[in-house]
Amino acid sequence: MTTSTLDQPLSFQTSPDQYRHWKLTFDGDIATLAMNVDPEGGLREGYELKLNSYDLGVDIELADAINRLRFEHPEVRCLVLTGNLDRVFCAGANIVMLRSSSHAFKVNFCKYTNETRLGIEDAAENSGLRTLAALNGTASGGGYELALACERILLVDDRNSAVSFPEVPLLGVLPGTGGLTRITDKRKIRRDRCDVFSSIAEGIKGKRAVEWDLVDGTGPLSKWDEMVSTEARRMADEQPARGDQGVAFPPIEVECSEAEDGSPIRRYRYVTLAFHDSDRTCELTIEAPDACAQSADEALAQGAEWWVMQAFREFDDALLHLRMNHRDNALVLVRAKGSEATVRTTDALLAAKGNWFVNEVQHLVKRTLKRLDLTSRSLFAIADQDTTFVGSFLEIALACDRIYLLNDPEIPVHMGVTAMNAGALPMSNGISRLETRFLGEPERVSQVLAHQDREHFDAETADELGLATYAPDEIDWEDEVRLALEERTSFSPDALTGMEANLRFAGPETMETKIFGRLSAWQNWIFQRPNAVGERGALQCYGTPNRPEFNLERT
């Protein structure tokens, strides 16, 4: 199987004592996350992370820091994102890293980066973590996109520092992690001004940056620290505290082994990811334990050991491992198993939001399910013997492209709904997976949800409710699933990625769906065009004496 462009499989786990690129400090209820990228700290050899430019390793640390603030530091009410270099906040994604990476790596890098940006926005919206970008120097490309993910942006006025999107004039690509979408849909800047801004390599600074709403304020270097401190204090005071005592965010343990045919297996406590290299499929299974916390206070006392937090952190790690380290994989067979009672009890606690911690776990589940939605693999839910697609586990099945349901009264297959299926775990389009599934038959949503106070329903009822794509009996089950797998893995991966990305987000368009839709289309296309990555393309020529040569045809 093809792995990442790295010599070793990429890990998405880290901790503050391992950070090479960020420094996280605290002053009461205000946290500061300062970017100080180690130039020699790239994930692989061959590029230097100059001027706080970043690669995937920088973003892995950023994502970890945001999660730790949400779970370990509920006392924090405002986060200040800033830089530790003189006159530079962040130069954006490292160009040599992009130039020397495979196309698939570039697109997955952009996707993870934007999921991390969305995590910052989600923390502000749902965790009471106000966010302030204090741009102590120039913010270019992805550096400015990081600032855009924050609620407020301040820019130092030192007659030199600017914000810019130089990708079009310098690199022949686009601000690929949501930049264009955020200046139009989030900051609602005029189209003509966005056009000018995105065409000026040197960017815009000072009063014009404020006038055009590219930043919210500027301040001279002599008063910079005071200005940032005052604004952070104001933002923190506007936000009520969530709690006093945080919950540890420990590393996830995983056991790696091989099947008899040499295919890798990753076993976590509640999740298993088993590859079948011979047919380019894998099985992703999540399982609920027999016992669980019965109250929000008990869940808080268990902390990271609360099974649902642990399970969905494992599920998330498995998805990231699949994306970046097994890109030849074509099809994921998804199963959910374990105690239905545990899932129902846990879902009731999540829906009630009895304390800040339970609220955070609900949003962790939501973000993990969104990661599943956005994973460019074919996803088939397999509801066969002893599976438990109930409540939050049913959301996993609804995220899949198809649901295969074994319809045999002699074999128990549990499917059911809880309050978590009624909109508590929305997709990127802002509505539930049931609403998205039944966009043309909205009455079916209430018909399905009418079962939430009952125990699971049988396969025939689930099929009648529209929850199955196919529901063969035991005689036809094996052949029908086998043929479906063989057919799916024979198709063009490019065509499948495009088809699936188009079909998964029916209904309303939001900033999120625009970002990922454009990432799938614009970046997938532009990152492969000779004008960007050809021998004399702009991305290839940047930083060299060569000038780019463009094919001047408009397509």
Asked if 431 and 423 touch (Cβ cutoff 8 Å), the reply is yes
Q: Would you state the pLDDT for residue 4?
A: 40
Percent pLDDT > 90 in the chain is: 86
Q: Would you state the pLDDT for residue 9?
A: 87
pLDDT of 400 > 80? The answer is yes
Q: Would you state the pLDDT for residue 176?
A: 78
pLDDT in tens, 127-137: 999 999 999 99
Window from 372-381, 484-493, 546-555 with minimum mean pLDDT: 546-555
The amino acid sitting at 514 is K
Round the average pLDDT of the chain to a whole number and report it.
94
Asked if 100 and 46 touch (Cβ cutoff 8 Å), the reply is yes
Which helix (H) or strand (E) covers residue 368, if one does?
Answer: helix 356-373
Domains and CATH numbers, the chain: 16-237 (3.90.226.10), 255-496 (3.90.226.10)
Q: Would you state the pLDDT for residue 2?
A: 39
The amino acid sitting at 482 is R
Q: Would you state the pLDDT for residue 3?
A: 40
What gap in Å lies between CA 131 and CA 286, rounded to an integer? 34
Strand, helix or coil for residue 393: helix
Question: Phi-psi region for residue 159, left (φ > 0), alpha (ψ -120 to 50) or beta?
Answer: left
What gap in Å lies between CA 66 and CA 127, rounded to an integer? 11
Asked if 128 and 70 touch (Cβ cutoff 8 Å), the reply is no
Q: Would you state the pLDDT for residue 243?
A: 85
The distance of Cα 139 from the centroid of its chain, to the nearest Å, equals 23
Asked if 442 and 412 touch (Cβ cutoff 8 Å), the reply is no
DSSP 434-470: HHHHTTT-THHHHHHHTTTTS--B-HHHHHHTT--SB
What gap in Å lies between CA 218 and CA 477, rounded to an integer? 65
What is the pTM assigned to this prediction? 0.96
DSSP 198-262: TT-TT-B-HHHHHHTTSSSEEEEGGGHHHHHHHHHHHHHHTS----SS----PPPP-EEEE-TTS
